[in-house]
Every structure is written in structure tokens, then in C-alpha cells.
Structure 1
Amino acid sequence: MNNCETGMKDAIMKAQEDGQQGLAQQTVSGALPSPMVALARRARLASRTLAQSPSSARDKALWAAAAAVREARSAILAANAKDLEASTAGAAFRDRLTLTPERVEAMAAGLEEMADLPDPVGRVLEEWTRPNGLRFRRVATPVGVIGVIYESRPNVGADAAGLCIKSGNAVLLRGGSESLHSARAIHAAIQAGLRAADLPEDAVLIAPDGDRAHVAEMLGAAGLVDLLIPRGGRSLVDRVQKEARVPVLAHADGLCHTYVHSAADPAMARRIVLNAKMRRVGICGATETLLIDAAIAPSLLPQIVGDLAEFGCTFHADAEARAIMPDLPVATEQDFSTEWLDAVLNIAVVDGVDEALDHIQKYSSSHTEAIVTSDEAVATRFLNGTDSAVVMWNASTQFCDGGEFGFGAEIGIATGRFHARGPVGVEQLTTFRYEVIGTGQVRT
């Protein structure tokens, strides 16, 4: 370990200790009602400074944070090793929890990519002049304080912090107990970036521990937290959406479909389906159901199944698919409604694009759907026929990722109908205000 890494490790440990002592003092004194409310109040104050800071300062913080993440790589990986040692979860969960040198570098590179993005704050979204001479402008502004509740994936903390800094928002992070050591180490590096840019460290705060009570405190923090974003399993997201007194931006499941149309190039279809399912099985953009046209299924389906089986994939198939491959296990209604997040694929044979769309309408979680075809008219019918947040043509569903969209990173995938849909990047973390400029007009 070099001197920079040693110094950063010491800084991380000191920041963690200081933060815990400060919270303990606040709670004992009775000055503030709970740790998370105390943190939210601090974030609220910091958000005012951050919202008014120049883009150059926020970009400087991101560049410095990226450098701090790289300097702290050994400390971050050591912290992650503690989390992994304590984990008893299965392979898919451990994959989400695991940090590698490459993933640490990806976090740093993502922060730099965010710094290079145009400033989303202060953009004039629209402007017009009324007959009375009044000029109107709709201008992008930060949301305020964003609460992010996430499980298992420690890199979410870096992505969320970077996106919030870039968009002028303070952020309150609550990571899961399973990733607590990793989250603290990453958080300390982010705060080092804020200090380097003379921005308030309280712009990025993290829960002191994995206590589940902190979630309830965040859900009830109306007036202190402006927007909640949960990143985790269905039980977490359902709870947040049910109990929150704060607006929520979320998706419950990533039940994604890939439809191989009869006019698909076979080699392309095999390549896309293999990647969409098996590149990383534990992410929300992984394909969970393959739909394939009856006209090509007898020749192409055995090849696709063989490709995936070589990588350890198992299957659940409908009656039409099993008529072609009798050894495939039977798919139940529940299977088609399940987000596996594992090396498991549902298979259904359909008769054309409309039947594929009907299947998607019935089972989809409105996350991401893809079609593989060389027929532009069919592709257009598919793209226009699904209301999912992201629809793809001749591409893997695993491209549903903020970094791949050019956002630098994402804070989550939104599948609702309001404010934002799909990967949530810096522009989606702004709201707007109206500015009205007059020359002395009064209303009659």
C-alpha cells in the first residue's frame, strides 16, 4: 500500500469514527429526535449551498472524488472483503455485493464522466413572451434533498452521490447492513472530493449503521427529504412505496423480455439473447423471458438453449416450446411473473408481434423490452406497442444502464409515468421553476 492509500485509509477510518461520535452526541443531547432526521436537517442546510454553487465547483468535487476513490482502492477493497466474509447470500447476491479493482475503477471513471456532462442546473427549458410583453422562462433547478435507500450494491452510493452533486442536490444515503463497510469507505472518498472543492461535506451523508429503523425515519421525513429512491428487492420497494410520506421514484421489478421475430438474423439473435440473459444475471436489465416466433422456433430455439446451457442457464418453457424440446421443464404462470435475477430463463413461443406484445402486456414490469428483427415495420410496431420505460431494437436489454445511455451513471431505473422514466441521470434529478420578467406591467 502506498502513502496515498495509507493516508486515505486513515482518513476513511477517522471520518467514520467522527461521524458516529457526532451522531451519538446529538442523539444523547436530545437536540435532534433521531440520527436520520439529524442527518436530513444537515443535508437540507447543505443543499442550499450546493444548489447555488457554480458548475465548476461541483465538477471539481467530482474530479477530486474520482481521484480519492482511486487512492482509496485498497481500503475500499479491504472493506468490501469484510462485507463478503460476513455474507451468507447466494451467488447472484454476492455478485452485486462484490467489488473488484475493475469495479472500483468504473466508479471513479463514472464520476469523471459526470463531471464532463453539461450542467443540468439553470438550463432554460422553454421561454416565451405574452402579448402584454411579459417574458416567461422555465428553468431547471435541483430537487433539494434526495434520499437513496439501497441494498447490497455498494457502488450505488458512489453513483448516487456523483449524480446528486452534479445536479446540485444533497443526498442522504442508507445502504444495507450487508454492504456497510464498503459503503462507508466509498462515502469517505466522496466527502474528500467535496472538501477539495470547498463544498459542504454534508451534501453527501450516510446512515451510521444498517439499523432498519433508519428506513422508517427516512420514509417519514416530509419537509426534510424531497424525493426517495429505493434500490433493492421487491420487499424494500413495496414498503417504500406503501409507507413513504415523501415522493418516491422507483421500480419494483426488472422483468425484461427479448422477442426474437421471424425476420431476425439467427446469429445476431443468438448473440443478443446470450448477452441479455447471461452477461450479469443479477441486474435489473437482465432478460428474464425469451419470446420467439413459431415460424423460426424449431430451428433456432435449440441453438439458443444450447448457447445458454453452456453457461449454466436453466429454463422454464411453455407447451409450444416443449413440443420442440420436450426435455425442457414446464413453465408455470408464476414463472412468467418472476424476476429471477439468476441463471434462469422463461421461454414462450408466440405467433407474431401482436402475440408477443400481448404476453409483454400481461407479465411485464414496464422496465425494458427488446425485439430482434430485420423488419423495420415490425420493429416500429413493437417499439410503439409497449409502454415500458425502455424499448430496444436489435440490442441487449443489459444496455438499460445510465452509463450506457451517456449519463455517466444512474441513480436507478424509473418505471412510473411521472417526472422521469428509464435510467435516472442528472437531468432527471432536476425540477424547474418559472421566471417572469416584466417592464412594469400590472394586471387589470
Structure 2
Amino acid sequence: MSSKNSAVTSAVTREEERQEVLARAAAAKKVAPQVAQLPTPVKNAILLAAAGNLVERAPEILEANARDVAAGRERGFNDSLIDRLSLDKDRIAGIASGLRQVASLRDPVGEVLRGHTMDNGIQMTQVRVPLGVMGMVYEARPNVTVDAFGLAMKSGNVALLRGSKSAVHSNQALVEILQDTVVDHGLPREVVQLLPCQTHDSVQDLITARGLVDVVIPRGGAGLIEAVVTGATVPTIETGTGNCHFYVDASADVDKAIDMVLNGKTRRPSVCNATETVLLDAALPDADKLRVVLALQDAGVTVHGDVGELGGIGVEGAVQATEEEWASEFLSMDICAKVVDGVSGAIAHIATYSTGHTEGIAAQNADVLTAFAGGVDSAAVMLNASTAFTDGEVYGMGAEIGISTQKLHARGPMALPELTSTKWILQGNGQTRP
């Protein structure tokens, strides 16, 4: 009987959770038209006020974040996950700066994309409009909570946030500050809401809330993204993982190539634009191939690959790479290294293993650069630049929701324009169609 009662209690709890998600989604849907009509100056004022409030109330955020970090360490999180989870005063200042930057950007809502006057005198225009209720599913990055709010607000959307359990206290503190800010500006708290995250089922509740949620955007690891994309009945924009490659051609300035590889790998290895595989042109002198690998090892990076192949160019201490490692993100101080047959070999390897995020090349031969740019099918291609540059803020877009690796609606950094749809407005003076 005890077991039966336990099951009933669990079922009731599960149903209560589902009803809470749907109730919050319904509340978001109700306030969405109000947010969609907000004038640009009001949206900007909210964003600037939110930035100030985050900095002013940083002690609250840091106290909450410390609880999450301590719990994460207790659960055995690795260093890269702890880095993603952690906040400090500088990171909070950076998050606030992102909101200020979004406030300074052009409002996409109402922008006329195209239009003309029909032969019968009807004037038609296509304009940008908000998506509506924007659901976000993401992992242990508290900054995403604020980024999502900022971009949603500026683009006239309502943010429905499903963060991870590992960042629950941080997210609660951030959302409370954001809700207090919108209330101070005469808006309902439901403009931004945090969904329950105690079980994975709440994700499914969100991504199947057709009619209440207009779009869902997953941001996180491959498992999370795959679960959302395959399980959603709500339209989804896929933000893909970043198995990013960097190819060093025989024509490259090797010193600059090493700088770019190190920057892409070691600047912040836990982010999606980090370089995960370095490809070395077979025509590159072995001494230069070895220089690239030794530079990585000297920087504390563990090199994975074909141990025999790497040993043939003088590499010691390499780890035999698995098929899974060639195809996945490390998000740590690890990298795969492989010798390929020129730019065509690099393109072929990337086509096999890339997630379509960012690929880079070091070369001085213009034909090689052209071949790489045309042959690589990814959201971003870096010609003589580090993969670390794939970032909405670096692109001048302000804070981003993520990097879309799909080909419909949005591709690359998803900023303000990518968080809008369009509608056609036709204005006549009584015309009827024959």
C-alpha cells in the first residue's frame, strides 16, 4: 500500500508540474500582445533599468550562484561545467553590458522589408513582427536567462524560460530582478517567467504546448538539443553544438596559425565556438606540423588523434582518438589533431564530422581560401581568423540567444532580427478582386 500511495503522490506532483507549466504559458500568451505593442523608448528604458538593477543587486545574485556552484561541486561537475555555471562581479557587469548594448541596437519590430503598389492601387508592405511567446530550454549558463529576456524584450516577445536544475537559485534571483524591473515600468511580471525544473518532464510540457508557445529555442549540449528538436510539437529553432575545426594549409603563416589555433582552443574551452579539431595539411613541413601540436601541448591542451600518425611527425604524449571524439565537442582543454590531404581533405573531414557551427582556416593562397569558403557548409567560416569570433556581440548584434546551425528561418548568431517573423499589410481604398 505504501508503494501504491507513493506512486499516486508522484503522479499528482507530476500533474501539478504540468499544470504549472501550462498556466505560465497561458499567462505569457495573454501578455504577449501588450509586449508586442511596446514603443521602442519603453523597451529601451526597461533594458537599461534591468542592467542597472542587476549590478546594484549583484550580492543577491552571487549568493544564489554560490549555492548552485557548491551543489555542482558536490555532484561532481567537471571544471568546464563549473565555469559555465559560475558568476562573479565581472561576469554580472558583462551581462548588464549586454543589455545596454541591446538597448542601443535598432528595434527590428515594424521594419519594412519590402513592398510595392499593385496595378489596382493597393499598397502592400512586408514588416517585421514579434514571434510571440518564446520558450527557451537551456543548461547551466545563468547568463542565458538575462540574454533571453533582453533579446525577447527588444524584439517584442515574451520570455518563457526553462533553465537547468543546476542553476536554479541563480536563475530565480535573476528572474526576480527582471520581473521587479518590468513591474516598475507598469508591465505584468509574466513578461518574463521561469518554469519549474525539478524534473525533465517540464521540458516536454513546454515544447508540446501548441497554441500557447509560439517558438522554442534549445541551447545546450547535443543531448538536450536532440531531445527538444525530436520531441517538440511547437516550432523549434535549433541552436547546434560546436564541433569546430581549424585547418592549417601549407601556404599558411604558421606563427599566425598557431596564435589562431591557441586562441580558438584555450581562450575559453567551455564555449560552443571553441576549436575542437585542428587539421594539418600533409604538404606542411613536419617541423611546422609539430610546432602547431607542441604549442597546444605547451598550453596544457591534451591532443587526441591517430597516435601512429602523430608519432610520425614527432608528437609524443598523444591520446588515441575515438570515433565519438572526432564527432563531438570536448568543451575542455582537449583537441583532436589530424593530417589531411590539402584543402579538399580538410573539407571532406569537416563534412563528415562537423556540426555545422564554425570552421576556420589559415592560408595565404587565395585559391585555397576560396575553395574552403565555398566548400564548407557551416553557419560561419573564418578565413585567417580564430573560431572564437562566432559570437553575436562580436558581430555587433548584442547579446545572442545562441548560434543556429539549421538552414530555415535563422542561421548563425540569433539576435534581434532572428527573433521576429513577418506579416503582410495591404492597404486599399475599396478594391475588390474580380
Query: Which category of TM-score, normalised to the shorter sequence, fits these structures?
Result: over 0.9
| Residues 210-234 of structure 1, C-alpha deviations (whole Å, 9 max, x = no match) | 3322112102100101111111222
Who is 2:42 aligned against? 57
The more displaced of 333-342 and 223-232 is 333-342
Question: If the length of structure 2 is used for normalisation, what is the TM-score?
Answer: 0.92
**Alignment match, 2:330:** 340
- Name the structure 1 match of 2:3: none
Give the match for residue 254 of structure 2. Answer: 266
- Pairing 1:29-178 to 2, within 5 Å after superposition: 34-87=19-72, 88-178=76-166
For 1:176, the aligned partner's letter is: S
2:291 to 265, 288, 303: 303
1:58-78 CA distances to partner (integer Å, 9 max, x unpaired)?
Answer: 111100000010011111111
Cα distance in 2 between the residues matched to 1:59 and 1:413: 24
1:376 and 2:376 aligned: no
**Deviation per residue, 1:242-292 (Å, 9 max, x gap):** 111101112342111011112211221011000101111111111111011
What SS is found at the alignment partner of 1:76? helix
Other-structure match for 1:385: 375
- C-alpha distance in 2, partners of 1:332/1:298? 24
What displacement does 1:354 show? 1.2
Q: CA deviation at 1:161?
A: 0.6
Counterpart check, 1:215 vs 2:200 = no
The code of the aligned residue for 1:425 comes to: A
Matched, 1:205 2:190: no
CA distance in 2: counterparts of 1:265 and 1:210, whole angstroms: 51
The residue type paired with residue 353 of structure 1 is V
**Of 338, 348, 353, the match for 1:358:** 348
Match of 2:312 in 1: 323
Report the AA paired with residue 137 of structure 2: I
Residue 408 (structure 1) aligned with residue 398 (structure 2): yes
Residue 322 to residue 439, structure 1, CA distance change in 2 (3 Å): farther
The question of whether the paired residues in 2 share the 8 Å contact of 1:151 and 1:176 is answered with yes
| CA distance 1:439–1:360, shift in 2 (3 Å) | same
Decide whether aligned partners of structure 1 residues 127 and 312 sit closer, same or farther in structure 2, where only a CA change above 3 A counts: same
8 Å Cα contact 1:414/1:423 also seen in 2: yes
> Where do 4+ consecutive residues of structure 1 move more than 6 Å?
30-33
Once residues 283 and 306 of structure 1 are traced to their aligned partners in structure 2, the CA distance between those partners, rounded to angstroms, is 23
Q: Which amino acid aligns with 1:430?
A: T
Give the number of equivalent residue pairs.
Answer: 417
CA contact (8 A) 2:290 2:315 kept: no
- Aligned twin of 2:300: 312
SS in 2 for 1:34: helix
Q: Give the 3-state SS of the residue equivalent to 2:135 in structure 1.
A: strand
Alignment match of 1:255 (pick from 216, 220, 243): 243
CA apart distance, 1:377: 2.6
**Is contact 2:240–2:357 with CA below 8 Å preserved after alignment?**
no
Q: Report the Cα distance in structure 1 between the residues aligned to 2:44 and 2:188, rounded to whole angstroms.
A: 14
Give 3-state SS (helix, strand or coil) of 2:113's partner. Answer: strand
- CA positional deviation for 1:175: 0.9
Distance 1:32 1:347 in 2: 46
Distance 2:384 2:259 in 1: 10
**Residue equivalent to 1:427:** 417
User: Displacement, 1:133?
Assistant: 2.2
- Counterpart CA distance in 2 for 1:56 and 1:210 is 37
- SS of the aligned residue for 2:299 comes to coil
Say whether the 8 Å CA contact 1:69–1:186 is kept in structure 2.
yes
Alignment partner, residue 290 of structure 1: 278
Q: Secondary structure at the match of 2:319?
A: coil
Of residues 245-254 and 54-63 in structure 1, the stretch that sits farther from structure 2 once superposed is 245-254
CA deviations on 1:165-200 (whole Å, 9 max, x unpaired) are 000000100111100011111111212321233233
- Conserved 8 A contact 2:127-2:424: yes
1:371/1:33 Cα in 2 relative to 1: closer, same or farther (>3 Å)?
Answer: closer
Deviations, residues 387-440 of structure 1 (Å, cap 9, x unaligned): 111111111111111111111111111111100001110110000000112232
CA distance in 1 between counterparts of 2:243 and 2:285 reads: 22
Q: Percent identity?
A: 41
Q: Deviations over 1:120-159 (max 9, x none)?
A: 1000011122222222111000000010011111111000
Bigger CA drift: 401-410 or 204-213?
Answer: 204-213
Match of 2:299, as an amino acid? F
CA distance in 1, matches of 2:177, 2:199: 23
Q: Which runs of 5+ in 1 are unaligned?
A: 1-26
Q: Secondary structure at the match of 2:320?
A: coil
Contact 1:276 1:286 in 2 (8 A): yes
CA contact (8 A) 2:129 2:421 kept: yes
Contact 2:43 2:154 in 1 (8 A): yes
Moved more, 113-122 or 206-215: 206-215
Quote the Cα distance in structure 2 between the aligned partners of 1:332 and 1:72: 46
Match of 1:242 in 2: 230
Q: State the distance in 2 between where 1:297 and 1:414 align.
A: 37
Structure 2: distance between partners of 1:292 and 1:55:
49
